[in-house]
Structure 1
Amino acid sequence: MPESKSGAKSGGRGIPLPDSNAEQPPVIRRAEVVAFTLVSLLIITVIAVLYVAKAFFLPIVTAFIVGTMLSPAATFLEKRRIPRSVSAVLIVTGVCGGLAFIVGLISSPLMEWTTRLPELGSRLKDKLHLFDRPLALWQQVQGMFGAESLSTSKFEMPKIDWVQPTVEFLSPTFTEFLLFFAILVLFIASWKDLRRAMVMNFADHEWRLRTLRILNAIETSLGGYLMTVTMINFGVGIATGLICAVTGMPNPAGLGALAATLNFFPIIGPVAMFIILVVVGILNSSTLGAGLMAAGAFAGVIFIEGHFVTPTIIGRRLQLNALAVFLALAFWTWLWGPMGGFLASPLLIVGLVLKEHLMPVNSPQLPPD
């Protein structure tokens, strides 16, 4: 009887009841929203503090990264019965000597070109006369649409007022240099004790082993990265110097040293070097084609280095994603300027090492394609 009544109410047909175990859309709980908001505010606060206190944090982070890269060299010297404190001083002195040598090679042509900027500007204007016809055609197009035409006879080179702001942007203050070198020496000298303190800070044996593995992986990865990138950039500098010597460019040694130095800054450095070679080549060559030979050859060297050499040597060892490298470069350059661009890849490596060791292998993964 109950079945007939329910059947009558439903028009004589049995309508299945909805399954209570069916999948329902996920419900966002208030606690999850609050946690996401707090984490977002924490990230924004940390970024704001790092941006505002750049003069304090940049030398410290740079010293920690560079010190971790150079720690294997201090360990090598320590095994040769040289005290670690003495090894730290020797390593930092050697690095400073190498940087001074590179700066000496670069500063000589840079000072010469800076003093000759008005002359070089007029020479560059004369060399670009082949663009007179396209400019005249552009003026005719502007005249057809009633736009105000530009007169090439009134073209003048802009005033050179960018030197001081550029130097202020690229050059840290003396206090930052002093803080960096002091922390670098102390960090290298005390890195062994610092490692032991960080490991013994955990009471659990498993976490001690995990911390030790993380520190070893960071030290190995950063040390290998520094050595590999230095050798690659050294090769790029030699190739650029040979190209400049063959094409008749002035001061090929200085240009090679500049290419090797700028190549430590991914993407931005090679582009800046290409522009420099284009300008210098046009100024010192009789024709436009001859002036672009060095820049074209350099572009070929950078293409081979960026697409074959570096991905083969570094990409397979560290598994750095090109998009991640570019985003890290853009973020840290915006945050801390050129030194942030130098630190972008090492900081990305540190992040990848932490992810690899702190996230277990059996954590939820995406299904295979």
Structure 2
Amino acid sequence: MRVLPGEPALSNPREAAPLPDSKSELPPVIKRAEVVASALVGLLVISIVAVLYVAKAFFLPVVGAFVVGTMLSPAAALLERYRIPRAVSAVLIVSAVGAGAALMVSLISSPLMQWTTRLPELGSQLRDKLHVFDRPLALWQELQNMLGGSGTLSAAPFQMPKFDWVQPTLEFLSPTFTEFLLFFATLILFIASWPDLRRALIMTFGDRAARLRTLRILNEIEGHLGGYLLTVTMINLGVGTATGMICAGTGMPKPAGLGALAATLNFFPIIGPVAMFAILVVVGVIASSTLGAGLIAPLAFVGVAFLEGHFVTPTIIGRRLELNALAVFMALAFWTWLWGPMGGFLSSPLLIVALILKEHLMPEDRPHLPPG
């Protein structure tokens, strides 16, 4: 290499070449702090779910009382405008809700207890009605044998399952007296002290912006949950009334009890109408003289449930409270697994609360779609 006069000589020619920008060539690397933070968040979620599952006897009545109390707080505020003390309003509202729930339970329990005592007889009647499927099952068996199948279905007549599940099911659906007492006591105290709790929660934050944001969140949760309870209750009562009229018109036994059961099960999205359809099929097949006559009431109920789910509820509740069907189903499955039937009832209100918190605490910049 030629060295010009006045320039120092280089011991290694490679030292004169510029180093490449190595930062732009390296792939993105996940920082260790992000991995640790994600792992800690995952462990925290698992711990919370485990505590809620193990301590169900405590958290279920308390959380249920908080959610139901938030739903009923607008009614207590309305009574306060007529100079009724908040504590008296809480007792009156809880008493009215308890009376309504007791009425629904009495309407449902009367035919349920009667049918429970006649389960062997009703099972025999159902088996006799389902003999119509013996020949199709036999034909299916012959077709499998002709095709070389193993023949998993036998040509024997339809057999009824045992009724050993009745007692465990009733125990699963019936909460303990302690849970009932804790729920109603917490509900009354929550409604009576909600204004003070609300004020204390808002004043916890020292920043004015944080206080205003907390106030907006609480107002939106209270308004949405109160509107959800009132609207869903009226819709479900309408579904129960329509179901009772259908059962009475088709000659089904205990139409009032079936209507009350339809109204109650409709509080559980997706699963409730499906369970009610199955119940109507069984009762209709047993009570009717023919299989076709027994399917009239279930099919009419399907029409009522379709109109309610696709037209009535979206129109009345509106787009603001309309929830994604997948999110509703996943929330229903999770809370029912965690807390049983009461968890399924609380799934939609808890989902509404979660969506409101996400909207205020983690707002998203929604990009506008280009004009098509």
What's the TM-score, normalizing by structure 1? 0.90
134-143 or 314-323, larger mean C-alpha shift: 134-143
1:348 aligns with 2:351: yes
Q: Is this contact kept in 1: 2:137–2:153, CA < 8 A?
A: no
Deviation of 1:134 (Å): 1.2
Q: Is this contact kept in 2: 1:105–1:253, CA < 8 A?
A: yes
256-265 or 18-27, larger mean C-alpha shift: 18-27
Q: Is this contact kept in 2: 1:202–1:208, CA < 8 A?
A: yes
Partner residue in 1 for 2:237: 234
Partner residue in 2 for 1:7: none
1:297 to 300, 305, 314: 300
Partner residue in 1 for 2:154: 150
Cα–Cα, structure 1 residues 187 and 297, in superposed 2: closer, same or farther, change >3 Å? same
Cα–Cα, structure 1 residues 122 and 319, in superposed 2: closer, same or farther, change >3 Å? closer
Offset from partner CA, 1:73-114 (integer Å, 9 cap, x none)? 111111111110011001010011001101111111111111
Distance in 1 (CA, whole Å) between partners of 2:274 and 2:40 is 40
21-30 or 184-193, larger mean C-alpha shift: 21-30
Query: Counterparts in 2 of 1:125-204, with a 5 A limit?
Result: 125-141=127-143, 145=148, 147=151, 150=154, 152=156, 156-204=159-207
Partner AA of 1:195 in structure 2: R
Distance in 1 (CA, whole Å) between partners of 2:28 and 2:314 is 41
> Structure 1: which 5+ residue stretches go unaligned?
3-16
1:36 to 38, 44, 63: 38
Distance in 2 (CA, whole Å) between partners of 1:368 and 1:44 is 38
Which contiguous aligned blocks of 4+ residues in structure 1 show a shift greater than 6 angstroms?
17-21
Partner residue in 2 for 1:13: none
Q: Is this contact kept in 1: 2:246–2:297, CA < 8 A?
A: yes
Partner residue in 1 for 2:52: 50
Q: Give RMSD over aligned pairs.
A: 2.2
Deviation of 1:116 (Å): 1.1
Cα–Cα, structure 1 residues 77 and 151, in superposed 2: closer, same or farther, change >3 Å? same
Q: Is this contact kept in 2: 1:143–1:149, CA < 8 A?
A: no
Distance in 2 (CA, whole Å) between partners of 1:125 and 1:189 is 54
Deviation of 1:151 (Å): 5.3
Deviation of 1:20 (Å): 6.9
Partner AA of 2:348 in structure 1: S
> Structure 2: which 5+ residue stretches go unaligned?
3-18
Q: What is the SS of the residue equivalent to 1:152? A: coil
Partner residue in 2 for 1:206: 209
Partner AA of 1:120 in structure 2: L
Identity of aligned residues (%): 75
Q: What is the SS of the residue equivalent to 1:120? A: helix
Query: Counterparts in 2 of 1:106-121, with a 5 A limit?
Result: 106-121=108-123
Distance in 1 (CA, whole Å) between partners of 2:307 and 2:128 is 34
128-137 or 169-178, larger mean C-alpha shift: 128-137
Partner residue in 1 for 2:71: 69
1:326 to 326, 329, 350: 329
Number of residues of Structure 1 aligned to a counterpart in Structure 2: 354
